[in-house]
Structures are given as structure tokens and as C-alpha cells.
Amino acid sequence: MKRLAITSALAAMFFTAAPAHADDGLFTGDVRLACEAVLCLSSGTRPSECAPSLQRYFSITAKKLSDTIKKRKSFLNLCPAATQDEKMVALVDAITNGAGRCDYASLNSTLRVWNWNGDSGETYISNSLPSYCTAYNNNAYTDIKAPRYVGVPERGGFWVEADKYDAALAEYNVRSGSAIASRRPAN
């Protein structure tokens, strides 16, 4: 239901916005790619039609992450609907801060924490979802299946795709049970 409402709302905004330099009423060039990127990055699915706009969006980079985010936001703002109201502005902010940074692989690599224990230390993956991911996943106009955390941080916990959570949890529990049993002294 949420997906239908989101798609309808976004489509209505895009198709009622004034066309940008096209005689046939359709967007062209970067304006079209920006609008398509907003639509594609608002959905958890990535049909093949999204490839050109996503390639264009993710090809925008700079030396600093903050500059990359600013440039990507400027690109998305080329779409007339991107600044149409506060909800769309919030969506573009959520996309520029979260898209490409909130998938399970990114979270597993960026949320590594060094835990110093006296003479030695170890790393673990934090189970705290960054605020920019929460904003992206929970935006009224997105339909994203947020990654889920499996386990306990200090015991090898990790992020997985939402639809693989149950299998990953079962595997983690088997592994954890085996590790606990191997630490018990023999009777």
C-alpha cells in the first residue's frame, strides 16, 4: 500500500511540474535523469530503466564526502518536483545522505568500532543505524527495505539485507551456540 501511495504521489508531482526545454512535454537530459534518480532511489527495487539515472547520480563524486553529497543534491534539485514542497525537499536530503551509504555492505564497513580492552583490542560492527539512514529509510516517500542487524556487536554481529534476516539469524545462532559450547570445559 505504501509503495502505491508513494509512486502515485511522486508521479503526480513529476508529471504536473512544468516541462524543462522540451516541446513534447517530457523532461530531457540531466533534468530527466535527476527526476528518474529521485524515483529510483525512493524505491527498494531497481528496474533496468533506472540504470542510466543511477549511473549518472553515483558518478558524481568529489574529494570530500560532504562535497559529493552537495553535488549530488544539486543534481537531484534539477528535477522541478525536488523543491516543490517540504516533503520533497526532505526526500532529496534523505536520498543524498543515505542512498549508497545505508545498504548492508556499507554499514558493515563503515560502522566498525575499535574496542580497547586493556592490553588488546578488537573490532566489532555497531548495531546503531546512523541517523541519515533512519531518515532515508523512514521518509514518507521512500519504500526501502532497511538492512537489519543480526546478533550482538561484541559477539560478531553484522548487518544483512532485510529479506535475508531470518536465514542469517539462524546461522548466527548456530555459530554462536557452537562457539559457546566449544568454550565450556569438558566434564
Span 106-163, pLDDT tens digits: 999 999 988 776 666 688 999 999 999 999 988 888 888 899 999 999 889 999 999 9
Q: Are residues 112 and 133 in the same domain?
A: yes
Burial 32-55 (b: 16+ CB within 10 A, else e): bbbbbbbbbbbbeeeeeebeebbe
Looking at the DSSP bridge assignments, the partners of residue 121 are: 116
According to the model, what pLDDT value does residue 28 have? 87
Q: Which of 39, 72, 98 is the last residue of a domain?
A: 98
Span 50-61, pLDDT tens digits: 999 999 999 999
According to the model, what pLDDT value does residue 118 have? 62
Q: Are residues 87 and 110 in the same domain?
A: no
- Amino acid making up residue 142: T
According to the model, what pLDDT value does residue 177 have? 74
Q: Which of 98, 114, 145 is the last residue of a domain?
A: 98
Q: What pTM was computed for the model? A: 0.72
Q: Which of 60, 78, 98 is the last residue of a domain?
A: 98
Q: Are residues 92 and 7 in the same domain?
A: yes
Give residue 64's domain range: 2-98
According to the model, what pLDDT value does residue 172 have? 94
